[in-house]
């Protein structure tokens, strides 16, 4: 039965081996679910967040995986709207990674808020001024779009395909893909931007407050740019990782190189704008309200090195690696560039959430530190385990990589 469900022409590990490989992930999932129960039953006192450190590991994680999950909408946009056909070989995998990232982020958010059952209030009567209301709308709608994009991949399963009505349904859904890709891209641009805008509008936090450009704070545009720059790199890294774990060739090298090139160009544009933004903020925006460079980077361990690390080591360097064809042709350089790019965006989200809250704004308040509790870590790992499990099943039973059969038959 297991064999019959697998994609024709592909080989997968034995079922027993597959289950053994998944057991540790199910254990992590179980521990996370128990931590989730504790938080729901007894409250958020099971975390180390507090009245000032109101956001912690989960919000950081949400921002990071939503940025990295941007590969789903961006690859879809390139394939269906800009007709870059080479991305057909990774689009299914990208959609599933996007779905995992977004649904995981929403799961973490549900635990993070104090009264999750009231979250629908935002949809019913939102505050139009709030960036978080915009994020909630776009995230909810985009998760629905991703779910609809996931369905045709599931229906392509060897057994499900045998049901004629499913096949017709899949075919019809496929016709909507360019429209869905367009809607998905629009929603994604808005929520990626609004996540940055969420912090950029905080005039009470000079560390994160930025000037307004075309209605939105500059972080709105920087978050969009950084997400679409890191997204393709993340798709590349995950595809490579799956290829290593499964021991199969999944896509041709030119796909990796195309992803790298797009990532590199966008990252270079991002680094340019990020540098201008940082200089303007440090020299104009922040001093105007009485905050100097020392107020932002004078507290150990958050020295100016963190900005330089983000912009140069994890920004400019991977951008230069990825735009250079000679480097791109060598797989290890391509992967190094992609990894550094993703790490840079993850660091940017860390700085935006954690450093903002740890720095004092009141002249007599202290610099604060925060370390998550085991429950926070368990729920963070639970989302990762959930991702691994969903992806593993999808990889086993669904046609994620159309080039796989051809590449491995040679």
Give the interface with another protein as residue ranges (CB under 8 A): 42-45, 49-55, 112-116, 118-119, 121-122, 125-127, 129-133, 136, 198-199, 201-206, 288-292, 356-357, 361-365, 368
CB of 288 to another protein, least distance (A): 8
What minimum distance in Å lies between the beta carbon of 35 and another protein?
Answer: 16
Q: Which is nearer to another protein, 54 or 308 (CB)?
A: 54
Instruction: Give the shortest CB-356-to-another protein separation in angstroms.
Output: 7
Q: Looking at beta carbons only, is 156 or 210 nearer to another protein?
A: 210
CA-wise closest residue to 271 among 232, 314, 240: 314
For another protein, give the closer residue by CB, 165 or 371. Answer: 371
CB 285, min distance to another protein, A = 12
The full 3-state SS of the chain, as one line of letters, equals CHHHHCCCCCCCCCHHHHHHHHHHHHHHHHHHHHHHHHHHHHCHHHCCCCCCCCCCHHHHHHHHHHHHCCHHHHHHHHHHHCCCHHHHHHHHHHHHHHHHHHHHHHHHHHHHCCCHHHCHHHHHCCCCCCHHHHHHHHHHHHHHHHHHHHHHHHHCCCCHHHCHHHHHHHHHHHHCHHHHHHHHHHHHHHHHHHHHHHHHCCCCCCCCCCCEECCEEHHHHHHHHHHHHHHHHHHHHHHHHHHHHHCCCCCCHHHHHHHHHHHHHHHHHHHHHHHHHHHHHHHHHHHHCCCCHHHHHCECCECCHHHHHHHHHHHHHHHHHHHCHHHHCCHHHHHHHHHHHHHHHHHHHHHHHHHHHHCCCCCCCCCCCCCCCHHHHHHHHHHHHHHHHHHHHHHHHCCCCCCHHHHHHC
Closer of 126 and 182 to another protein (Cβ): 126
Smallest distance, another protein to C-beta of residue 366, A: 10
Report helix angle 88-112 to 218-246, nearest 10: 120
Q: Which is nearer to another protein, 206 or 344 (CB)?
A: 206
Centroid of chain to Cα 2:
32
Query: Which of 285/408 has CB closer to another protein?
Result: 285
Q: Which is nearer to another protein, 20 or 369 (CB)?
A: 369
Of 5 and 132, CB closest to another protein: 132
Shortest Å distance, C-beta 231 to another protein: 25
Give min distance, CB of 133 to another protein, in A. Answer: 4
Lookup: tokens for 115:
């009264």
Closest CB 175 distance from another protein, rounded Å: 35
Cα–Cα distances in Å, from 288 out to 199, 200, 210, 276, 297? 18, 16, 12, 17, 17
**Minimum distance of another protein from residue 55's CB (angstroms):** 6
Q: Which is nearer to another protein, 225 or 357 (CB)?
A: 357
Q: What is the closest distance, in whole angstroms, from the C-beta atom of residue 119 to another protein in the complex? A: 6
Q: Are 267 and 256 in contact (CB under 8 A)?
A: no
Q: Which is nearer to another protein, 24 or 43 (CB)?
A: 43
């Amino acid at each position: 039965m297991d064999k019959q469900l697998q994609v024709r022409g592909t080989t997968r590990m034995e079922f027993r081996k597959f289950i053994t490989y998944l057991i540790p992930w199910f254990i992590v999932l179980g521990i996370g679910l128990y931590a989730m129960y504790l938080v729901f039953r007894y409250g958020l006192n099971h975390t180390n967040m507090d009245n000032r450190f109101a956001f912690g590991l989960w919000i950081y994680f949400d921002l990071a995986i939503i940025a990295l999950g941007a590969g789903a909408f961006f690859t879809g946009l390139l394939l269906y709207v800009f007709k870059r056909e080479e991305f057909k070989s990774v689009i299914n995998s990208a959609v599933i990674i996007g779905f995992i990232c977004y649904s995981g982020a929403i799961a973490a958010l549900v635990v993070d808020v104090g009264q999750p059952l009231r979250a629908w209030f935002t949809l019913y009567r939102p505050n139009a001024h709030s960036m978080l209301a915009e994020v909630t709308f776009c995230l909810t709608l985009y998760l629905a779009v991703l779910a609809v994009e996931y369905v045709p991949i599931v229906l392509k399963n060897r057994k499900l395909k045998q049901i004629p009505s499913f096949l017709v349904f899949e075919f019809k859904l496929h016709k909507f893909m360019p429209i869905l890709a367009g809607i998905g891209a629009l929603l994604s641009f808005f929520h990626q931007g609004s996540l940055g805008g969420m912090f950029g509008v905080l005039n009470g936090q000079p560390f994160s407050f930025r000037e307004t450009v075309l209605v939105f704070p500059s972080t709105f545009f920087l978050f969009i740019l950084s997400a679409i720059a890191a997204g393709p790199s993340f798709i590349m890294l995950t595809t490579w990782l799956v290829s290593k774990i499964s021991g199969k060739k999944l896509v041709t090298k030119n796909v990796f190189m195309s992803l790298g090139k797009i990532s590199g160009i966008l990252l270079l544009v991002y680094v340019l704008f990020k540098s201008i933004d940082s200089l303007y903020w440090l020299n104009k925006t922040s001093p105007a309200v009485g905050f100097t460079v020392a107020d932002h980077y004078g507290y150990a361990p958050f020295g100016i090195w963190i900005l330089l690390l983000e912009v140069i080591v994890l920004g400019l360097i991977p951008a230069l690696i990825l735009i250079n064809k000679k480097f791109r042709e060598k797989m290890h350089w391509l992967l190094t560039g992609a990894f550094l790019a993703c790490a840079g965006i993850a660091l940017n989200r860390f700085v935006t959430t954690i450093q903002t809250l740890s720095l004092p704004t009141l002249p007599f308040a202290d610099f604060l530190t925060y370390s998550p509790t085991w429950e926070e870590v368990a729920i963070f790992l639970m989302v990762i385990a959930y991702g691994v499990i969903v992806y593993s099943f999808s990889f086993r039973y669904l046609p994620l990589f159309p080039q796989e059969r051809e590449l491995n038959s040679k």
